[in-house]
């Protein structure tokens, strides 16, 4: 079942942010992740404060997502992240894919 890393970020340093982004993207690809959302226009429709920059990365499984986050490769990017940006990071499981290739409508 797929899993998602959802980040809400605020840039602290532009040059370090770019370096972090490059490093993170390389490690994400190595662990089978792919970007679904990478900072496009966001609009608050209901509740809460206005969104910051939103990033959504899909991984093949929660295990693979956690493996990426704990990896030696990502640790280098994570160290840079601390000075490059502020972030709220959430891991969430996706909906199982049925044999037909569609999401399971009965799972909530």
85 pLDDT higher than 90: yes
Contact yes or no for 19/85 (Cβ under 8 A) = no
Single out the residue of 56, 55, 62, 67 nearest to residue 27, CA to CA: 67
Q: What is the pLDDT of residue 78?
A: 94
Using the Cα atoms of residue 89, residue 95, residue 101 and residue 102 in order, give the sign of their dihedral.
negative
101 pLDDT higher than 80: no
Mean predicted confidence (pLDDT) in 2-12: 96
**Per-residue pLDDT reduced to its tens digit, 29-68:** 999 999 999 988 888 899 988 889 999 999 999 999 999 9
CATH of 3-42+51-93, one of 3.40.50.300, 3.40.350.10, 3.30.70.100, 3.40.1000.10: 3.30.70.100
Q: What is the pLDDT of residue 98?
A: 75
pTM for the whole thing? Answer: 0.85
Q: Spell out the domain ranges in the chain.
A: 3-42+51-93
């Amino acid at each position: 079942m797929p899993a998602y890393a959802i980040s809400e970020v605020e840039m602290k340093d532009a040059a370090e942010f770019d370096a972090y982004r490059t490093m993170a993207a390389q490690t994400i690809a190595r662990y089978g992740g792919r970007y679904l959302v990478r900072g496009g226009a966001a609009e608050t429709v209901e509740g809460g404060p206005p969104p910051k920059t939103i990033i959504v990365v899909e991984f093949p499984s929660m295990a693979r997502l956690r493996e990426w986050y704990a990896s030696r490769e990502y640790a280098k990017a994570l160290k840079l992240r601390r000075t490059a940006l502020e972030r709220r990071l959430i891991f969430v499981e996706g909906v199982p894919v049925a044999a037909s290739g569609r999401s399971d409508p009965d799972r909530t």
